[in-house]
């Protein structure tokens, strides 16, 4: 006899009890900028929960990578322009002709701000659980706020700051007169600009709140207080943002996590919240690639098995490693085959050409063995066998975090899996001997920034082409976004080396894979 386990169903929510003490109403966002002082309380759908968080995560990942690549503030602002526009747009009131809620375009702005608000809180939930993630979240959110602050409309920025009700103490005329010489010296003002001291507004704040200004000796320090001129107000506002967020994150495990979880009913009730949050926090290792199928046409011709060897020069290190091992051993183990087959499918190899490719590559076995052991799996990857799912090429996140290779396997991301000295040898085979680049790659790898290392290698091996692109388009001469998908690496590489030759199509993917915390890649083993 079998005992039937009861099916766990989400408990019905007593909404009065659930929301007791919480003000439930759709917030109106008068400003583009947000200090995120109030948690959101309205319900959102599971899809919105996932997609909004993934979009913000992509932005934070990009910011982190830009910082790690030592971009100047100007370069960072250029590099973040497109990602922000694509994944987390946030328009100013003036851009839509008013902030009245009844204005159609203003409603769009409200939606953007709602997404910004919710996604911030979802990632707080995801990253509040470890010290390292909290620090990274704080640093990247601060940069994001700074980017938006600096690009905001003057009038709106002023209104936003006034609305925050800061407890900054203003210096009176008498105080300024009494401290005139010190203020001149402390702020680096020249004596012939002395009148400026009296015309400018000064704030008096605890020195810890403007640590960077103190560090740069841009303010006068006296009795534990910093005297900040109005010209340094952005630093003051940004420092305030950081301080408040830091405090909120510290208190998070005890208070806010409960409040935010409560603000997202059903998710915590039916156990779907935690896998999503876990998956999101893994996303800081490598951002989620948010596209579906990738098909590439090279020079308008269909791709054949015979040209793969010629294309390896455009492959990222993970795929080069698989290809080299395949050519050397005339064989690849299952996970390596799966990773490489899906990549080649994304490059544009048809199922017939893929079968030809693998048959020729496995030259130590006969036709019969190939048909029995391997044909099915290749066809399965193309959705022609078994569950007939259309498997997508694996993203860096999947490669980095799922199916980690065992000792004798060569799939996965080499920046993560290969010992550093062997990795340097691998870099040599890609033509990299520059000591600075190798040193930076070592640092990236030590800091577990694998996709940053890969992007750095891409930039170095395509420096000439990126420079040409920069001259033609006025770009930055760098990748505008980090490499987060091997097929993206290939498309960019081939396109740069053969201008006008690539036609790549992508389609938006449903975020369902993130919901379950799995990639959806699953194949029968031989
Ligand atoms: Fe491949 Fe991505 Fe690793 Fe680069 S970062 S080697 S593309 S898995």
Could you read off the pLDDT of 468-478 as tens digits, one per residue?
887 877 666 66
Distance CA 57, CA 69 (A): 18
Question: At 511, is the pLDDT very low, low, confident or very high (cuts 50, 70, 90)?
Answer: very low
Cβ neighbours of residue 136 under 8 Å, at least 6 residues apart? 60, 64, 127, 284
Lookup: tokens for 147: 């980017």
- Which residues in the chain are classed under CATH 1.20.930.80? 15-162+268-283
String of DSSP letters for 401-456 = HSS---TT---S-HHHHS-HHHHHHHHHHTT---HHHHHHHHHHHHTT-HHHHHHH
Chain position carrying tokens 């050397």 = 328
66 known member of a binding site = no
What's the CA-to-centroid distance between 340 and ligand 1, angstroms?
12
pLDDT score, position 196? 64
Lookup: tokens for 301: 């011709």
Distance CA 286, CA 481 (A): 12
User: Which parts of 88-193 fold into alpha helices (H)?
Assistant: 104-127, 131-150, 154-164, 173-178, 180-186
* Residue with the larger pLDDT of the pair 77 and 215: 77
Q: Which residues pair with 169 in a beta bridge?
A: 204
The angle that helices 486-497 and 317-329 make with each other, rounded to 10 degrees, is 90
pLDDT at 509 over 50: no
Instruction: Mark residue 70 as left, alpha or beta (left: phi above 0; alpha: psi -120 to 50; beta: remaining).
Output: left
pLDDT at 300 over 80: no
* Residue with the larger pLDDT of the pair 119 and 157: 119
Site to substitute for ligand 1 among 454, 461, 519, 521, most atoms within 8 A of C-beta: 454
318 known member of a binding site = yes
Q: Is 412 in the pocket of ligand 1 (CB under 6 A)?
A: no
pLDDT at 70 over 60: yes
Highest mean pLDDT among 11-20, 248-257, 350-359, 398-407: 350-359
Residue 97 · residue 496 · CB < 8 Å = no
What's the CA-to-centroid distance between 401 and ligand 1, angstroms?
12
396 known member of a binding site = yes
Tens of pLDDT, residue by residue over 203-225, are 888 888 787 788 777 888 888 88
Residue 112 · residue 31 · CB < 8 Å = no
CA distances from 56 to 51, 81, 284, 354, 447 (A): 9, 14, 11, 37, 22
- Cα–chain center distance at 325: 31
What's the CA-to-centroid distance between 455 and ligand 1, angstroms?
9
Tens of pLDDT, residue by residue over 310-350, are 999 999 999 999 999 999 999 999 999 999 999 999 998 99
What is the number of other CB atoms lying within 10 angstroms of the CB of residue 360? Answer: 13
Q: Is 450 in the pocket of ligand 1 (CB under 6 A)?
A: yes
Q: Is 454 in the pocket of ligand 1 (CB under 6 A)?
A: yes
Q: Is 415 in the pocket of ligand 1 (CB under 6 A)?
A: yes
Chain position carrying tokens 């997202």 = 264
Class of the CATH domain delimited by 15-162+268-283: mainly alpha
Which of 17-31, 375-389, 404-418 is the least confident region? Answer: 17-31
Percentage, residues of the chain above pLDDT 70: 75
* DSSP summary character for residue 473: H
pLDDT at 423 over 90: yes
Task: Point out the ligand 1 atom lying closest to the alpha carbon of residue 450.
Answer: 5
Atom 4 in ligand 1: which residue has the minimum CA distance? Answer: 454
CA-nearest of 399, 455, 394, 420 to 64 is 455
Site to substitute for ligand 1 among 340, 449, 483, 487, most atoms within 8 A of C-beta: 483
* Residue with the larger pLDDT of the pair 274 and 183: 183
Q: Is 318 in the pocket of ligand 1 (CB under 6 A)?
A: yes
What's the CA-to-centroid distance between 489 and ligand 1, angstroms?
8
What's the CA-to-centroid distance between 293 and ligand 1, angstroms?
18
Site to substitute for ligand 1 among 285, 316, 492, most atoms within 8 A of C-beta: 316
* Residue with the larger pLDDT of the pair 510 and 356: 356
């Amino acid at each position: 006899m079998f005992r039937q386990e009861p099916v766990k169903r989400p408990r019905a929510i007593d909404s009065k009890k659930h929301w007791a003490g919480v003000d439930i109403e759709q917030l109106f966002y008068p400003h583009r900028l947000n200090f995120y002082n109030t948690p959101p309380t309205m319900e959102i759908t599971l899809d919105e929960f996932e997609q909004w968080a993934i979009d913000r995560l992509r932005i934070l990942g990009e910011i982190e990578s830009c910082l790690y690549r030592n971009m100047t503030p100007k370069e960072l602002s250029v590099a973040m322009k497109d990602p922000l526009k694509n994944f987390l747009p946030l328009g100013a009131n003036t851009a839509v002709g008013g902030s009245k809620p009844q204005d159609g375009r203003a409603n769009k702005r409200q939606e953007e701000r709602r997404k910004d608000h919710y996604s911030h809180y979802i990632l707080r939930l995801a990253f509040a659980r470890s010290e390292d993630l909290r620090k990274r979240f704080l640093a990247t959110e601060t940069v994001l706020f700074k980017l938006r602050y600096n690009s905001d409309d003057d009038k709106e920025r002023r209104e936003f700051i006034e609305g925050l009700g800061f407890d900054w103490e203003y210096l009176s005329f008498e105080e300024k007169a009494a401290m005139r010489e010190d203020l001149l010296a402390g702020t680096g003002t020249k004596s012939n600009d002395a009148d400026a001291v009296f015309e400018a507004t000064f704030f008096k704040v605890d020195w810890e709140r403007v640590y960077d200004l103190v560090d740069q000796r841009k303010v006068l320090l006296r009795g534990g207080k910093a005297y900040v001129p109005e010209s340094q107000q952005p630093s003051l506002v940004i420092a305030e943002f950081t301080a408040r967020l830091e405090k909120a994150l510290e208190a998070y495990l005890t208070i806010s996590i409960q409040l935010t979880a409560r603000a997202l009913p059903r998710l915590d009730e039916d156990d779907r919240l935690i896998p999503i949050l876990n998956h999101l926090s893994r996303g800081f290792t490598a951002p989620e690639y948010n596209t579906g199928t990738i098909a590439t046409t090279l020079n308008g011709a269909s791709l054949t098995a015979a040209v793969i060897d010629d294309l390896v020069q455009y492959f990222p290190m993970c795929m080069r490693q698989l290809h080299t091992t395949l050519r050397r051993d005339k064989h690849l183990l299952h996970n390596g085959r799966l990773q490489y087959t899906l990549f080649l499918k994304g490059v544009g190899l048809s199922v017939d050409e893929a079968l030809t490719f693998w048959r020729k590559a496995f030259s130590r076995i006969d036709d019969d063995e190939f048909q029995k052991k391997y044909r099915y799996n290749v066809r399965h990857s193309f959705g022609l066998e078994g569950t007939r799912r259309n498997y997508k090429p694996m993203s860096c996140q999947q490669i980095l975090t799922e199916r980690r290779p065992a000792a004798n396997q060569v799939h996965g991301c080499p920046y993560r899996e290969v010992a550093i000295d062997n990795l340097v040898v691998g870099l040599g085979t890609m033509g990299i001997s520059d000591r600075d680049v190798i040193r930076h790659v070592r640092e990236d790898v030590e800091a577990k920034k694998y996709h940053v290392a890969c992007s750095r290698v891409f930039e170095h091996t395509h420096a000439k082409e990126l420079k040409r692109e920069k001259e033609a388009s006025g770009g930055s001469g760098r990748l505008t976004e980090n490499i987060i998908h091997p097929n993206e690496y290939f498309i960019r590489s081939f396109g740069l080396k053969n201008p006008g030759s690539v036609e790549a199509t992508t389609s938006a993917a449903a975020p369902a894979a993130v919901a379950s915390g799995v990639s959806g890649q699953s194949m029968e083993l031989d």
